[in-house]
Structure 1
Amino acid sequence: MGIYKVRIATGNFLLAGTFSSISITLVGTHEESDKKPLDNCGKDFNPGAVEEFKLCSRRWLGDIVLVRLHKEPYSFYPTDNWYCSFVEVVSPHGQRYRFPCYQWIEGYRTLELREGKGQIVCDDADSPLLLEQRQAELKHRRECYGWKEFAPGLPRCLAVENVIELDCNTMYSFTKSTNFLLRGGNAQVELWLKGFLSCTNSWAKLDDINKVFCFNKTPITEYVRAHWREDTFFGSQFLNGVHPVVIRRCMELPCNFPVTPAMVASSLGESTSLHDELEKGNIFLVDYKILEGVPANTINGYQQYIAAPLCLLHLQPSGELVPVAIQLSQCPGPDSPIFLPSDSEWDWILAKTWVRYTEFLVHEAVSHLLLTHLIDEAFTLATLRQLPMCHPLFKLLLPHTRYTLHINIMARTLLLRRGGNIERAMGSGLEGTKVLMAKGMSCLTYTSLCFPDDIQERGVDCIPNYYYRDDGLKIWSAIER
């Protein structure tokens, strides 16, 4: 016989508390306790509260391996949800056990919690009770998180149609939902004030682009306004812009990009040649072959067009990267000339603008939407369906999957649908974006997801001023350790 002390923590945020009746069962290696109501004087389980309860047991339970939290109706109070942070148990002999929870308990149910230490399945081999708990937890999760196909060639996703079907543990918090709505509302107001919300016409002159920056000016936006036409700024974006993942070292020109030494001689300088610079590893290529054959959209009655450019860049002795040749299709010929810095100013600017436009399409559809959101959702679902809470990998991965399901469902309902933002605003449209993502998925390899291997494979391990690489390798190293 002895007294067990039980401490229970409720999340410290709005609506985390509960009016429900909470009971507990302690499960030890020898015995399990009777189900005991947790009730102190006054209201229990308020947001931010850490409360202690004393449980009298007539039997020695052994080491505590599980706790069962029972959430049940209380009086006339309506059903609510409760966010439990953790349960801590101190035995009559002073042994302390901690059971992390950090999740919502919705409605009325019983939740089993294990100790916080990481356990793989072979660690439970001698305990049928823990093996049963592990399998029961995964069975429940697989019922909650099912798979479905969103579009051919894309990763499968969560089988729900709207965010209201999500459980509380995968939905945005109240605070995050509020911030999200406020930011979205502010953006709509800003677009309306700038005249973009209902605008269906082209800009009359290039200076009209300044309207984009009439609010929220920053040193970066001012720098972009001043330098966007410069070749050095254009080249730097392949290293440290929004999409620094396509540039690769070029040791031999592709057969469909017939750049001659004479074409680029003036760009490379008098003391070298194209052959020499290729051998030195100073020539780099950005190839958008993935866009070849992607259907273009029609927006406000205007047919859109999609290029599939090749862009050759030179690393100068100063360490700056500049473009030296651009071809806007994958098929060379009279209808697909090679543009050079020696061409007229506006021909060269227009060629660079088409490259930037294709960069946006590939970044948004492949690197962002597919390789960040949709691939992450597949890993998130696999984690939830295959790894119990006690698994060490579950503990490592879960914080990085928070809100993934919610934001992806919003993307599918607001962006990737008929009449959505992608169909209304992107040159690839809805069908073209799906085709582009499927192409990106078909060439995805595990190695391409491993940062150091990707840097090595693209031959950009030594290019100077590549801060994306430098910072990324530090983050990779920290995660690997």
Structure 2
Amino acid sequence: MATYTVWVTTGQGLAASTCSAISITLVGAHGETPKHRLDHEGKDFAPRAVDEYQVPSAQCLRPIVLIRLHKEPYSFFPSDSWLCNCVQVTSPEGDTYRFPCYQWIEGYRTVELREGADSQVICINRNRSLLTSIQILNCYHFQAKTAAEDAQHPLLLQHRQEELKARQEAYRWKVYNPQWPRCLDVASVDELDFNYKYSQTKTTIFMLRAIKTELELKLKGFSLCTGSWEKLEDIRKIFWCNKNLTSEYVSEHWQEDSFFGYQFLNGVNPVVIRKCTVLPENFPLTEEMVVGSLGEGTTLRDELKKGNIFLTDYKILEGIPTIQLNGEQQYLAVPLCLLHLTPGGQVVPLAIQLSQHPGPNSPIFLPSDPEWDWTLAKIWVRLANFHVHEVNTHLLEAHFLCEVYCMATLRQLPMCHPVYKLLIPHTSYTLHINTLVRTNLIQPGGLFDKMRGRDGMLKLLAKSVENVSYEVLCLPDDLEARGVSSLPNYYYRNDGMRIWMAVER
């Protein structure tokens, strides 16, 4: 008869504990123990507690490769969820095995955990209280293993296969729109696994922000407003309770050409600007038009050769339908905006054409035009930039493509796989927020439909899918392709490359 010492660590938070009956099975290379109930007098598995138990075995199990945690009904208590951080087992011979979990165990089920930890030691208080010197190790620090490294243990190879089979059954693909990336097959966030839902804290913050925003709109009189602003100064009323240094700066400088150009570098959508060495055929700009804007001693031809001319082209918006708001038809420009890198390092607009088809009905606007003609042209460009950002850069690339990677990670990589451990921290809440987007934001009659038109959004995102490539998503390649690797004051590039290099290391 052998006796194994088992420590079970519960996660933080009031809801982390459980009232269910918890049992354990130790699985070794030479057999396994019967299911053994983990139970003391008083409360077991309290938040942040480390509980110690003795588990008997009729034989030596060395080495222990798996454990099974059985969560079952207890007395009259209802089904609940338990946040198990990790389990540590010490054999009679003094060998220590660590089994990371770091997940919510919902309802009544059995969870298999495989052994594997790095060289760090979890220091445990023998009084079954809190960890004394090292807080719970994050599961991504635990040792990763490929299938080849598990070849000597058939049980571990079988565990990998069963884990992936269970995941593929739990995380099924669905086609939301035939021209969009596939997504998780759930009808609401209530169907999500507890481990991929918002935490209670995040849910509370999310709800409070929504309530605060709705209340603010009502107080400002915007929630039921159907008219237009009488003057531009009225727009400042939007920020009367959310003022900060950035909003104040924008409200004071938004009409300046230098700030308009700067926003293409470090604004909400800094990924559309690209170097222009030859003018597009559908943009018939002449030397005479810009001679006053370029300054003395240079020409448009010279600046094109030097690499000082840049372009933002919104051709992807062509043919996208718009809606009526309050009985008024809405419109969307499909502009071309040419920008100039000045000797002082500023990027400023040089010329704007608001459609892809030049002619009498599509003039080219210049900084030398009357102030409000030029200002309105810039506003139309900024509106086009907003639409491309919201649907392409944000919704597609930052949400829906991330869901594809998240699903592929969950369905194809076991938890112990090195690439799983690398990717999974970056998928936190991806499934939850994207499910909310589909069920609340972009469904028929939703906010997107009312404000911008769902039909247009569906078509724009489908066109974005056709145009996306791995090069666009690979920051160094994208910067090189757009010719902006050396563009001064491009802080998006600087910060992005620091993150890229950190991940690569």
TM-score (structure 2 length as normaliser)? 0.93
| Residues 33 and 56 in structure 2, CA contact (< 8 A), matched pair in contact too | no
Q: Deviations over 1:266-296 (max 9, x none)?
A: 1101110001100100000000010011111
Matches within 5 A, 1:183-332: 183-332=209-358
Aligned partners of 1:161, 1:393: CA distance in 2, in Å? 29
Counterpart for residue 16 of structure 1 = 16
Aligned partners of 2:14, 2:446: CA distance in 1, in Å? 33
Task: State the SS of the aligned residue for 1:293.
Answer: coil
Task: State the SS of the aligned residue for 2:32.
Answer: coil
Residues 1:100 and 2:124 aligned together: no
Aligned partners of 1:49, 1:300: CA distance in 2, in Å? 58
Q: Deviations over 1:124-167 (max 9, x none)?
A: 22322112111111111111111111112110011111111112
1:436 aligns with one of 433, 452, 460: 460
Counterpart for residue 55 of structure 1 = 55
Matches within 5 A, 1:172-187: 172-187=198-213
| Residues 84 and 101 in structure 1, CA contact (< 8 A), matched pair in contact too | yes
Counterpart for residue 471 of structure 2 = 447
Counterpart for residue 124 of structure 1 = 150
CA RMSD of aligned residues (A): 1.0
Aligned partners of 2:231, 2:498: CA distance in 1, in Å? 44
1:364 aligns with one of 390, 403, 410: 390
Aligned partners of 2:96, 2:378: CA distance in 1, in Å? 65
Counterpart for residue 459 of structure 1 = 483
CA offset at residue 393 of structure 1? 1.2
Counterpart for residue 81 of structure 2 = 81
Task: State the SS of the aligned residue for 1:296.
Answer: coil
The amino acid that maps onto 1:124 is D
| Residues 25 and 32 in structure 1, CA contact (< 8 A), matched pair in contact too | yes
Aligned partners of 1:58, 1:418: CA distance in 2, in Å? 62
Aligned partners of 2:354, 2:25: CA distance in 1, in Å? 69
CA offset at residue 2 of structure 1? 3.1
Answer with 51-60 or 136-145: which moved more: 51-60
| Residues 115 and 390 in structure 1, CA contact (< 8 A), matched pair in contact too | no
Aligned partners of 2:406, 2:50: CA distance in 1, in Å? 31
The amino acid that maps onto 2:100 is P
CA offset at residue 85 of structure 1? 0.8
Aligned partners of 1:183, 1:94: CA distance in 2, in Å? 52
Task: State the SS of the aligned residue for 1:284.
Answer: strand
Counterpart for residue 420 of structure 1 = 446
Aligned partners of 1:14, 1:151: CA distance in 2, in Å? 40
Counterpart for residue 138 of structure 2 = none
Task: State the SS of the aligned residue for 2:68.
Answer: strand
Q: Deviations over 1:172-209 (max 9, x none)?
A: 11111111101110011111111111111111111111
Counterpart for residue 3 of structure 1 = 3
Task: State the SS of the aligned residue for 2:31.
Answer: coil
Residues 1:146 and 2:172 aligned together: yes
CA offset at residue 3 of structure 1? 2.6
| Matched positions, count | 479
Aligned partners of 1:56, 1:165: CA distance in 2, in Å? 39
Counterpart for residue 137 of structure 2 = none
Aligned partners of 1:336, 1:329: CA distance in 2, in Å? 6
The amino acid that maps onto 1:337 is P
Residues 1:479 and 2:503 aligned together: yes
Counterpart for residue 133 of structure 1 = 159
Counterpart for residue 350 of structure 1 = 376
Aligned partners of 2:44, 2:460: CA distance in 1, in Å? 54
Answer with 343-352 or 69-78: which moved more: 69-78
Aligned partners of 2:187, 2:326: CA distance in 1, in Å? 28
TM-score (structure 1 length as normaliser)? 0.98
Q: Deviations over 1:71-122 (max 9, x none)?
A: 1111121111111111111122222211111111111111000123212222
CA offset at residue 349 of structure 1? 0.1
1:468 aligns with one of 482, 485, 492: 492
Aligned partners of 2:440, 2:76: CA distance in 1, in Å? 39
Aligned partners of 1:440, 1:140: CA distance in 2, in Å? 33
Structure 2 unaligned segments of length 5 or more: list them: 117-142
CA offset at residue 59 of structure 1? 1.3
Which consecutive segments of 4 or more residues in structure 1 shift more than 4 A? none
Aligned partners of 2:325, 2:440: CA distance in 1, in Å? 17
Aligned partners of 1:81, 1:332: CA distance in 2, in Å? 63
CA offset at residue 171 of structure 1? 1.1
Aligned partners of 1:185, 1:214: CA distance in 2, in Å? 18
Aligned partners of 2:272, 2:95: CA distance in 1, in Å? 56
Task: State the SS of the aligned residue for 2:215.
Answer: helix
Counterpart for residue 111 of structure 1 = 111
The amino acid that maps onto 1:343 is D
The amino acid that maps onto 1:17 is S
